[in-house]
Chains A and B, each alone.
Chain A
Amino acid sequence: MPPSPLLQVRDLTTEFRTERGTVRAVNGVSFDVFPGETLAIVGESGSGKSVTALSVLRLIPTPPGRIAGGEVLFDGQNLLNLTEHQMQRVRGNSIAMIFQEPMSSLNPSLPIGMQIAEPLNVHHNTPWAKAIDAAKTLLSRVRVPDAARRVDAWPHQFSGGMRQRAMIAMALANAPRLLIADEPTTALDVTVQAQILDLLKEVTRETGSSLILITHDLGVVARYADRVAVMYGGRLVESGTATDIYERPSHPYTIGLMASVPRLDSAAGSRLTAIDGQPPDLAALPPGCAFAPRCRNVHARCGEAVPVLREVAPNHLSACFLHDT
C-alpha cells in the first residue's frame, strides 16, 4: 500500500482582481506530494506555478489576490480553513519556503544570523543566544564557509549564491516536513545553480522532508525531480513520474516543451523546434483548451470544452482530447 500523501491540493483556484477583470491565475489545480519525494511544477512565466506555491502557504497578497476555492490538505488538515494565527504557526515551521530572488528576499537591515535564527525564536521561543548558535550550525550545514563568523554578517556582504544558501538555512531552521522552492536558482549564475540544487536535494534527503521545486528549467527537472506536474494557463495539463514525462510525454504542450530542449541522444544535426505563438493571456483565455491556439493537433472540440485530466498510463495524467480516441 502506498504511503498517504503529505500534501493534497484539490481544485485550488486563485484569482486576482485586475483592471481588466478577474484573472484566474490558478484554475482548479490538484496534485499530491508524498513524504520524502520531490515534485517539480513546470511551466512558462504566467502559467500559475508560483501562485500555486504561494497559495499553499496563503501568502497571496489580498487584495488584489484571493483563493477562490479548493482545498489544501496538509497532513489531512485543510490549511484554507485555518485562522491567520493558526496559519502563522504552519509557515516557517512545518512548511517553509525559499524564494526566487536571493538578492531581495533577505532583510537588508538585519544580520544574516538573526534572520536564520528568527523562525526558531518565533516558533519555539528559543532564546536568541541559543537560536544564533543554531544558526551557525545551519549555516555550516548549507556549506557557508566560516559560518561562526558569518552569522554576524549583513546580507549585502554575501554573494547571490551565499544568500540563497542563507535562505535555505532559514527554511531548514525548524526541520520542515515540506519545503517549497520557487525557482530557487533562476537569479543565480549557472555554476552556482547546480550547487544550490544539489544542496537542496541533499538536505531534503537527510531530513526526509518533501520538496516542491518550481522551475521552468527542464534540465533541473530531469535531474532532481521524482514526479513532475506541468502547468499551462493556470491549469495542470500533465503529471507523472519524471521518467514518464521525459520518455513518454503525452500532452501536446509537454511534447512541444521536450522538443525545444537539446538532448544528448538526439540525432546529430537535428534542429530544436519551438512552440509557435505566445503564452496565453490569462485575462482573455480562449474558451476550451488554453493551449489550442498553439497546438499542432488542434481540432474542433478543443475550442468548445476544456479537456479534463485522465489517466493515460498508471499514475500518468494528461488533459487532452487526443487521449479520448
Chain B
Amino acid sequence: MRAYAIRRLLALIPTLLFASLIVFITVRLIPGDVIDLMLSQNDISADKKSRAQLEAALGLDTPVHWQYLRWVGAILFEGSLGRSLWQNTPVTELIAQRMPITFELGFLALLVALCVALPVGIWAAIRQDTMGDYLGRSFSILMLAVPSFWMGTLVMVFPSIWWGWSPDIQFVAFHVDPLRNLGQMMPPAIILGCALSAVTMRMTRTMMLEVLRQDYVRTAWAKGLNERLVVIRHALRNALIPVVTLIGLQAPILIGGAVIMEQIFVIPGTGLMLLDAVSQRDYPIVTGVFLIVGVAVQLINLIVDLSYGFLDPKVRYR
C-alpha cells in the first residue's frame, strides 16, 4: 500500500504541471491585463515607456513560456510561488494565512454533510416508504434544488431584518476564540453541508436498500442479531464504498462552494482572496491558489482510493 501511495504521489507531478500550465495561460487571457489596471489606477499617462518599465519591474516583459518556466523553477528550487503583483508580498505567505480558513470551512461543511446524509440515508432505507423516508427524500431534493448562494444571501439578510442579527463581519481565527469562530463559520458550513448532503444521502439510501436485500444480511438476521447490529455491522460497511467515492468526487464542488460562501459571509479565506486576485489580474496569486487547490483535490482522491482498502477486503494495492 505504501508503494501504491508513493506512486500515486509521483503521478501528481505531471497532472499538476499540466493543470498549472492551463491556469497560467488562461489568467493571462482574461481581457484587460494588470498593467492597464495599475496604470489607470495610478493615473500615470499610459505611454509606451512607462508601460515597458512596469512590465519589466513585474517580470511580465518576457514571453509567457519563459514566465512559466521561471515560475516552475522558483517552485522547485526556492519553494516560492512568486510575489503578489500589487502587494509585493510572497504568495506562499498569503496562502498560508488564508488557506487554513478555507480548509476549516470545507471540513466543517463536509462534517455537516456526513452527519446529515449518513443517518438520514440509513433511516430512509431501513424505514423505506414510511413518513420518515419521504421527509428525508423531500429534504434532500429541496437542498439539491436550492442554490447555496441564494440560501446564503437569505441567511445574511432575513435574520438582520427580523431580529437585527447578522454574522460577525470582523473575522476571528479559531485559535483566538473557538466559539466565536464557529459562530461565524457554522452558518456557511451548514448551508454548504446541506447542499452536499443531498446527493450523498440519496446514494446512501440507494446503496443500503440494495445491500439490505443481500443474502448475507438475511444470514445476519438468522444469527439472531438485532436491527442495529444488522444495519451497522453487516450492511453499512458494504454500502459505503460508492458513498465514499461520491464524497471524493464532491471535493472540488465543495471548494467551489467555499469560494462563494466566503464572498457572501465575508470570511477572509482563499476564496475571497482568489476573487480579488482575479479582478485585479494578480496572476501569481491566482496560479498559486489553483496549484494548492489542485494538490488538495488530488490528495482527497488519493485518500478516497486508499480508504477502499479498509472497506473492501478484496481491494489490494499493488
A residues apposed to B, CB below 8 Å:
57, 59, 85, 88-93, 96-97, 99, 101, 104-111, 118-119, 122-123, 154, 156, 167, 170
Contact = CB atoms under 8 A, between A and B. Distances in A.
Interface string B205-235: 0000000001110111111111001000110
Contacts of A59: 218, 221-222
A88 B224 contact: yes
Contact of B222 (A97, A107, A111, A123): A97
A109 B225 contact: no
Interface in B287-318: 311-314
A170 B234 CA distance: 15
Nearest to B236: A109
B246 to A, nearest CB: 18
Contacts of B215: 99, 101, 104-105
B224 A119 contact: yes
A99 B224 contact: no
A154 B216 contact: no
Contacts of B238: 107-109
A107 B219 contact: yes
12 contacts: A88-B225, A91-B221, A96-B222, A99-B222, A101-B215, A104-B214, A105-B215, A105-B218, A105-B219, A109-B311, A154-B313, A167-B219
Contact of A122 (B218, B219, B223, B237): B223
Interface SS of chain B: helix
Contact of B219 (A90, A99, A111, A154): A99
A156 B223 contact: no
A59 B224 CA distance: 10
B220 A107 contact: yes
B226 A90 contact: no
Contact of B223 (A104, A109, A118): A118
Contacts of B312: 108-109
Given A154-B313, A154-B314, A156-B313, A105 B216 contact: yes
The 7 closest A-B pairs by CB, nearest first: A92-B223, A92-B224, A91-B224, A104-B215, A107-B216, A154-B313, A97-B222
Nearest to B311: A109
A122 B216 contact: no
A325 to B, nearest CB: 45
Nearest to B221: A59
B311 A122 contact: no
Contacts of A105: 215-216, 218-219
A118 B313 contact: no
Interface string B269-300: 00000000000000000000000000000000
Nearest to B235: A107
Nearest to B212: A61
B216 A91 contact: no
Indicate the member of B218, B219, B221, B311 with the most A CB atoms within 10 Å. B219
Indicate the member of A105, A111, A154, A167 with the most B CB atoms within 10 Å. A105
B313 A122 contact: no
Given A154-B313, A156-B313, A106 B224 contact: no
A89 B313 CA distance: 30
A105 B221 CA distance: 11
Contacts of A156: 313-314
Contacts of A122: 223-225, 229
A109 B313 contact: yes
Contacts of A109: 237-238, 311-313
A91 B222 CA distance: 5
A241 B233 CA distance: 43
Nearest to A94: B224
Contacts of B226: 85, 88
A123 B234 contact: no
